[in-house]
A = this chain, B = another copy of it.
Amino acid sequence: MAKVNENYLKLPGSYLFSTIGKKVSAYSAEHPDKKIIRLGIGDVTQPLAPAITEALHNAVDEMGKAESFRGYAPDLGYEFLRSAIAENDYRVRGCDISADEIFVSDGAKCDCSNIQEIFSLDNKIAVCDPVYPVYVDSNVMAGRTGVYDPGAGTWSNVIYMPCTADNSFVPELPRETPDLIYLCFPNNPTGATVTKPQLQQWVDYANKTGAVILYDAAYEAYISEEDVPHSIYECEGAKTCAIEMRSFSKNAGFTGVRLGFTVVPKELKCGGVALHSLWARRHGTKYNGAPYIVQRAGEAVYSEAGRAQLREQVAYYMNNARYIYDGLKEAGFTVSGGVNAPYIWLKTPGKMSSWEFFDYLLEKGNVVGTPGSGFGPSGEGYFRLTAFGSYENTVEAVGRIKTIQV
């Protein structure tokens, strides 16, 4: 008699963005005349850059000819892409990461949720609070998180590291020592960043305690300030304690194209076992690589033309971020983020809860954002807006938010 994985049944509600999608659909169905502006899910809206579509077209042509057709990709990803990543994302920043420490995948969401699998079930995780829900949910599904407290919105076996206005949304080292530490900078959802000395503290702490840092750097392309590290490997000693996950979704608009990668340095070991070999085994056994044409598109991200076009794309979104930030501040909101990240984190007005403000904004302004409490208990009373809309929609949304009465 087959039995289900009971851990799945412990998950409260549905995945945050599915819930939001359903609420918005329901509102749309009831009010078909309203023009809804979506600044909720962090999904890009600008079309693929010409360098990217050109690479895709060329690769499609290759796949249509016998002499250049490609079947199964190499386990770790094509060498042309891994080399481009190693050179442009790491070596130019002084990080000694080689092409064979890079594992190409179909996106950071998969990697962020699958990476826990190579660790023991009795490892204890620490997460920032608020946090991208995938880190916790994937550990719930695996059975690592203990019992859920619906009142508190917390799991008994998870170490929460509050990121609040008091600590400028940068967590302090936890009192209890975790085995696995999820960090994401620039941060989703708060848009906060760490300086290199701040991140170095985490690296030193992990090396001292034997913890592994799972570092999500999906938003690194949005960093505009000097002293903010783009990779954890800019810190000394990170290669013996950190795995880094990256995405092409936000720097190149690949949310619908699907490409990402994970770096597992060969020096990184737990109890003498190289995590590189475990992750390689997972890739080889349970995955068949990202599409060839998509890997060629990824390569084009690093071409001269690609870089120039994507710098513009990032600048376009960051201009939106500034517009939201300035507009809301002017309107009296308490806002942060938006400087090194495409997310604006705002305090809900009038002591509204996050979901109250979500409903209010949807109804009164027809603007969709993300309730901060969906990211964890310390997100209660906050709200996330993304800069990934079109400029016109962003301007209109800010205008609407300014005029609604709270």
**Contact residues of A with B, CB < 8 Å?**
1-6, 8-9, 11, 14-15, 17-18, 41, 43-48, 50, 52-53, 56-57, 60-61, 63-66, 69-73, 75, 106-107, 109-110, 113-114, 117-123, 133-134, 137-138, 141, 179-180, 209-212, 253, 255-258, 270-271, 273, 275, 278, 281-282, 284-294, 390
Chain copies in the assembled complex: 2
| B residues in contact with A285, CB < 8 Å | 11, 15, 113, 133-134, 137-138, 141
Q: Which residue of B lies closest to A247 (CB)?
A: B288
Q: Which residue of B lies closest to A125 (CB)?
A: B2
Question: What is the minimal beta-carbon distance from A179 to any residue of chain B, in angstroms?
Answer: 4
Rounded to whole angstroms, the CA-CA distance of A286 and B8 in the bound complex is 12
Rounded to whole angstroms, the CA-CA distance of A9 and B281 in the bound complex is 10
Contact indicator B53/A273 (Cβ below 8 Å) = no
Contact indicator B288/A107 (Cβ below 8 Å) = yes
Rounded to whole angstroms, the CA-CA distance of A369 and B34 in the bound complex is 62
Q: Which residue of B lies closest to A118 (CB)?
A: B5
Contact indicator B258/A289 (Cβ below 8 Å) = yes
Q: Which residue of B lies closest to A3 (CB)?
A: B120
Contact indicator B256/A71 (Cβ below 8 Å) = yes
Contact indicator A41/B291 (Cβ below 8 Å) = no
If A1-B209, A109-B287 touch, whether A6 touches B120 (CB-CB below 8 Å) is yes
If A71-B43, A71-B44, A72-B255 touch, whether A110 touches B286 (CB-CB below 8 Å) is yes
